C-alpha cells in the first residue's frame, strides 16, 4: 500500500530533525576534539580517541562528554570524575596533563 502524503511529510520532517541534531552533535564533538588538540597537545585523531576513552570509562555518551568539555573551556569547571578520566585518557594518548590539574 502506498504511503499517504501526510505520512510521507511527517516522515520527511522527522528525518530533517534527525539530520539537524546530527549536525549539531558533530559540531560539538569536533569542537571538543579541537580543545583536546589545543590543550592536550594531541593530534586530532588522538583527540577523538581521548573523547571515546573518557566516554567509555565514565559510561557517559560521547556527545555529552564533548558538551562538558566545551563548558569547561568556557567556565573553567568540569565534574571531578570527568577530569580524572580526561587526565587518564590524555596520559594514554597525549604528552601532557589537563591544564589546571594539581601536580603530583
Q: Tens of pLDDT along 18-77?
A: 888 887 778 999 999 999 998 888 989 999 999 999 999 999 999 999 999 999 999 989
Q: Quick check: is 100 in a domain?
A: no
Q: Quick check: is 15 in a domain?
A: no
Q: Which residue bears the cell 530533525?
A: 17
pLDDT above 90 for 104: no
Q: Quick check: is 36 in a domain?
A: yes
Q: Quick check: is 16 in a domain?
A: no
Does this model's pTM top 0.75?
Answer: no
* Host domain of residue 66: 23-93
- The domain total for the chain is 1
Q: Quick check: is 29 in a domain?
A: yes
C-alpha to C-alpha distance for 70 and 29, rounded to whole angstroms: 9
pLDDT value at position 79? 93
C-alpha to C-alpha distance for 28 and 40, rounded to whole angstroms: 17
Q: Quick check: is 8 in a domain?
A: no
Amino acid at each position: 500500500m502506498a504511503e499517504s502524503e501526510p505520512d510521507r511529510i511527517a516522515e520527511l520532517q522527522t528525518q530533517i530533525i534527525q539530520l539537524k541534531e546530527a549536525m549539531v552533535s558533530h559540531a560539538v564533538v569536533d569542537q571538543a576534539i579541537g580543545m583536546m588538540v589545543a590543550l592536550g597537545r594531541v593530534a586530532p585523531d588522538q583527540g577523538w580517541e581521548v573523547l571515546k576513552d573518557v566516554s567509555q570509562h565514565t559510561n557517559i555518551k560521547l556527545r555529552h562528554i564533548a558538551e562538558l568539555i566545551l563548558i569547561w573551556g568556557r567556565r573553567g569547571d568540569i565534574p571531578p570524575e570527568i577530569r580524572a578520566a580526561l587526565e587518564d585518557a590524555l596520559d594514554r594518548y597525549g604528552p601532557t596533563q589537563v591544564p589546571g590539574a594539581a601536580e603530583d
